[in-house]
Amino acid sequence: MVKEFRQYFSDINPKGNIYLMLVWRFNLLMLIFSLCRVLFYLFNVDFFPNVTSKGLLRILAGGLWFDTSALLYTNLLYFVLFLIPFTFRYNAWYQKALKFLFVITNSIAIGANCADFIYFRFTMRRTTATVFDEFKHETNFGSLIPRFIADYWYVFLIWIALTALLVLLYGRIRPIVKRKGYKFHLVYGINGMVLLLVFATLMVGGMRGGFRHSTRPITLSNAGQYVSEPLEAAIVLNTPFAIYRTLGKKSLVKVDYYKTPEELEIAYTPIHKPEPTDSLKRMNVVIFILESFGREYIGAYNQHLKEQGYNGFTPFLDSLINHSLWYRYSFGNGRKSIDGMPSVLASIPMFVEPYFLTSYSGNKINSIASLLRAEGYHTAFFHGAPNGSMGFQAFANVAGFEEYYGMSEYPNPKDFDGMWGVWDEEFFQFFAQKLNGFRQPFCAALFSVSSHHPFKVPERYEGKFPKGTLPIHQCIAYTDYSLKRFFETVSKMEWYSNTLFVITADHPNQTYFPEYQTSVGSFAVPLVFYRPDNSLSGQKDELAQQIDIMPSILGYLNYGKPFVAFGRNIFDSNTKPFVVNYTNGCYQLYLDSLALIFDGSKTIGLYDIRTDLMLAKNLQNQLPDAVKQMESKLKAIVQQYNSRMIEDKLVVR
């Protein structure tokens, strides 16, 4: 036995100890993930203006917790194959196979982190597992990846450099490799099994985020303890962790902030019970959901920036706003295109995950289309992308639209932009002509496509529109011009004067001004109601949101039957304006001039969104009564939303 112990330890060079080497390689991965976190911050530093040097150190330290978990999940197979106590693990061929596995799996994880250097700007959060569902219907996905690599080549080079660093440093400490392997003996087997159990215990604790029995596995929301505002949680997290923790997970759980249905209904209810009436205004409704049309791009919304020489990129929409009812403090209820459609058309906000991608997307819902269709309206949805793109066609069907018009219905394939769909100018004209052929009254919605990455305009318009400071600016100007051409066309049509037009956006996109880069400003979208007879006009300084659109249209038309909508009728002066949205594991509620940030269990911030545009001053401790009032309302909204989603109660039965 003594001889076997001596033989075992004499065969292990301290510099090549297989267990020490495993620890070294794991530390190498931790270093690279930390580098990714620093790069993520530097690429998106404009979105985190309130991060101090002390705060950044706290974030970086907290991020190690999530990196440990993500890397253990990523390398689980590698660790098992590495630690099994058989002597063939020392063979050269086996070590080469392990190296190949190590490099491939971790380079993919590093690539996911690198992708979010850029993708974060569009979603304002780390990518989760829903990304696989989000793009599964895209027929042009094969062309998207090369295009993204070409446009963001520097990120691709960073990924190559980090992978090369991984390969280079992987072999700096090598195990003793013998082609014939070691001779197996009892001491070797016992020692290997003990160390395997030790490492397995450490790995389980690392993946869970702790060893205590009472410790729940860490989730995305745990990042909130290292930040001062929810947007910063994206720095703490890493993309592989965000994906792993959302794979196959139900997005909603029942909460019981309010113990009885009566208490909950008093605090907040999404059931609208208008006065019964037989005087429905049989007026046409046309809704524009403009891709990426954030408030920042619209001159009328940014009069305070004129001193800096900023006039926006929407001269036509600015002129239309002068004859419209518009809301100065209007916001979206999500940060993705797939969030915008349910919010605008069915008054369903995005909480936790996009409604399209949850297990509740098959619920029976009411929408502006289904409710007006039951009143004899002709309903249609238009989207210039390939049919099925983003799941819009499926949702349009569920929402009750009679007809769907996409690229398959568009007559001229030459108008395809080569990436996303039909150019806006041509598709808007197609929209106008189709509307002119519908029986009245009709309710139609259009989702535009051109103001989207890779931010191109038709060749004939190169140089016509101002380039601005961001790639998207000329695309915004082009879509604004397309909107102008649409109104020029339809203003000559008979049905035009009897129509309510509503214009909003799905979400903001690239931003230049810091006020639009906060967790509040990043939801800023326009909300405009236009009637050709100028019967709706003026600026409103109260809050409004996408989920207000459906109940407001119904209210304007004197719709008199009960329905479910999470927003309010803005034409009803008896309802109090509010805005609700969700970002990086936190709910946000805006009331009056205040924004409350709530992580599901406690309030972590309260800000004045009119005087403190950068959300630099947390008023939570100074205004405890406001916190209590707002937290009560937000809890009621969340409880109603979760319960109704889970129990399939999104219609009045």
What are the pLDDT digits (tens) for 491-505?
Answer: 999 999 999 999 999
pLDDT at 180 over 60: no
pLDDT at 10 over 50: no
What's the mean pLDDT in 596-619?
94
For residue 185, the model assigns a pLDDT of 56
pLDDT band at 245 (very low <50, low <70, confident <90, very high): confident
CB within 8 Å of 567: residues ≥ 6 apart: 347, 545, 546, 547, 548, 549, 550, 551, 552
pLDDT at 9 over 50: no
Residue range 298-355, pLDDT digits in tens = 999 999 999 888 999 999 999 999 999 999 999 999 999 989 999 999 999 999 888 8
pLDDT at 179 over 70: no
Per-residue b/e over 546-573, b at no fewer than 16 CB within 10 Å?
A: bbbbbbbbbbbbebebebbbbbbbbbee
What's the mean pLDDT in 124-145?
70
For residue 174, the model assigns a pLDDT of 60
Task: Give the amino acid at 170.
Answer: Y
Residue 256 CA: distances (Å) to CA of 264, 348, 462, 585, 601: 9, 21, 56, 19, 11
pLDDT at 21 over 70: yes
For residue 354, the model assigns a pLDDT of 86
List the structure tokens of 531.
């009637």
Residue range 430-440, pLDDT digits in tens = 999 999 999 99
CB 182 within 8 A of CB 11: yes
CB within 8 Å of 388: residues ≥ 6 apart: 137, 139, 394, 406
Residue scoring higher pLDDT (319 or 395): 319
Segment holding 378, helix H or strand E: strand 378-383
pLDDT at 235 over 70: yes
Segment holding 590, helix H or strand E: strand 586-591
For residue 208, the model assigns a pLDDT of 74
- Domain at 263-646: CATH code: 3.40.720.10
For β-strands 442-447 and 499-505, DSSP reports them as unpaired
From the list 472, 454, 468, 512, the residue with the least C-alpha distance to 152 is: 454
Name, of 136-150, 216-230, 566-580, the range with top average pLDDT.
566-580
pLDDT at 226 over 60: yes
d(CA 253, CA 356): 17
Q: What percent of the chain has pLDDT over 70?
A: 90
From the list 380, 62, 452, 442, the residue with the least C-alpha distance to 222 is: 62
Mean pLDDT (the chain) is 89
Cα 513–chain centre separation? 20
pLDDT at 91 over 90: no
CB within 8 Å of 216: residues ≥ 6 apart: 208
CA angle at residue 582 from 579 to 585, to 5 degrees? 150
Residue range 136-174, pLDDT digits in tens = 666 666 666 787 888 899 999 999 999 999 999 987 766
d(CA 201, CA 207): 10
pLDDT at 213 over 70: no
For residue 219, the model assigns a pLDDT of 76
Backbone φ and ψ for 533, nearest 5 degrees, come out as -90, 10
pLDDT band at 246 (very low <50, low <70, confident <90, very high): confident
End-to-end CA distance of the chain: 79
What's the mean pLDDT in 120-126?
84
pLDDT at 35 over 60: yes
pLDDT band at 247 (very low <50, low <70, confident <90, very high): confident
For residue 391, the model assigns a pLDDT of 82
Q: For the chain, where do the domains classified as CATH 3.40.720.10 start and end?
A: 263-646
For residue 13, the model assigns a pLDDT of 40
pLDDT at 107 over 80: yes
Lowest mean pLDDT among 46-60, 166-180, 478-492, 511-525: 166-180
pLDDT band at 398 (very low <50, low <70, confident <90, very high): confident
For residue 637, the model assigns a pLDDT of 98
Lowest mean pLDDT among 242-256, 325-339, 429-443, 554-568: 242-256
pLDDT band at 19 (very low <50, low <70, confident <90, very high): confident
d(CA 534, CA 536): 5
